[in-house]
Amino acid sequence: MADLTTSGPAPNLETASQAVADEKELARAARARRDRIARWVLPVLTMVLTILGWEYLVVANEIPHYILPRPSLVLETLVKDWPILSAALLVTLKITFGALAIAVVGGVGLAILFSMSKWVEMSFYPYAIILQVTPIIVIAPLIFIYVDSKIAGLLICAWIVAFFPILSNTTLGLNSADHNLRNLMELYGASERQTLWHLKLPSALPFFLGGLKIAGGLSLIGAIVAEFVAGTGGVGSGLAFRILEASYRLNIPRMFAAIILISFTGILIFAAMSLLSHLLLRKWHESALKREN
């Protein structure tokens, strides 16, 4: 007796569904590839068009260079005055990274004290908030009156600006450790130091790195503002002094060149901090893990 069951349509349906899934996967991959390309191409294209429009505007309207220099002249000035600007950039970078290092050590250390003692946190945290909300442009003149060393004054000003994000984020991270894991470590007799090292600090690392990305840019801003207030000249002058000097002499191309150097420095600092965050978190934290979907 012949077998009346037919199994022909099932493979066809399976093949069709597989083809649809493959098409969706290809479309998703193409869309992701377009997004990756657009993430780099669109900002570059926008910048190129802006620079070309700026150049055309200045040349077409014959705007004097002491009012608005054309981008090509700014680039020429950056190359011509590089010995002066690079020396000033080095001074500003020393202040920036010095203040950032002090902010990291002081902010993390004080945050650990806060996590270990609520009395310490209640005593000192309000003063950290006061330092944060008081404009540095108001505090800086007083600092330079009472501090003899200009370099120390610049470091203090930049440190004040960069300190609070480190302290605030690290304190939040230390206090965000899982309470169930805390209870478990207490149940197994872990000491306060062991709990801090094995639980609280790893939990606080993503928060600390987030604060570090903010503090990196703020330390540069603090250094520039402090240099403006100090107005130091001579060997120890940074980029802010070169901007002031160029404005007094109506050397506007050099002023634009110094501003561009400051902007690129800030971008590089943020990129370096983002890379550090990615390298430290990519293997275990949800914010850095790559997922297929």
pLDDT at 170: 94
**d(C-alpha 107, C-alpha 170), whole Å:** 8
Q: What would the two tokens of residue 33 be? A: 């590839």
pLDDT at 235 over 50: no
Per-residue confidence (pLDDT) for residue 264, from 0 to 100? 94
At 41-75, the pLDDT tens digits run: 888 899 999 999 999 999 999 899 889 999 999 99
Q: What integer is the mean pLDDT of 85-95?
A: 93
CATH topology classification for 71-281: MetI-like fold (1.10.3720)
C-alpha closest to that of 236 among 172, 149, 160: 149
Task: Find, among 175, 265, 154, 169, the residue nearest to 214 by Cα.
Answer: 169
Specify the higher pLDDT residue, 19 or 62: 62
Domain boundaries, the chain: 9-62, 71-281
pLDDT digits (tens, 9 = 90+) for 96-138: 999 999 999 999 999 999 988 889 989 999 999 998 888 888 8
Q: Does the structure show a pLDDT above 70 at 293?
A: no
Q: What is the pLDDT of residue 131?
A: 86
**Whole-prediction pTM:** 0.82
- Rg (the chain; Cα; Å): 28
Residue 188 has, within 13 A of its CA and on its CB side, a CA count of 8
Least confident of 101-110, 156-165, 172-181: 172-181
> What's the mean pLDDT in 226-248?
80
Alpha carbon distance 248, 123 (integer Å): 46
Please state which of the ranges 218-227, 229-238, 274-283 shows the lowest mean pLDDT: 229-238
The pLDDT, as a whole number, for residue 281 is 86
pLDDT tier, 12 (very low <50, low <70, confident <90, very high otherwise): low
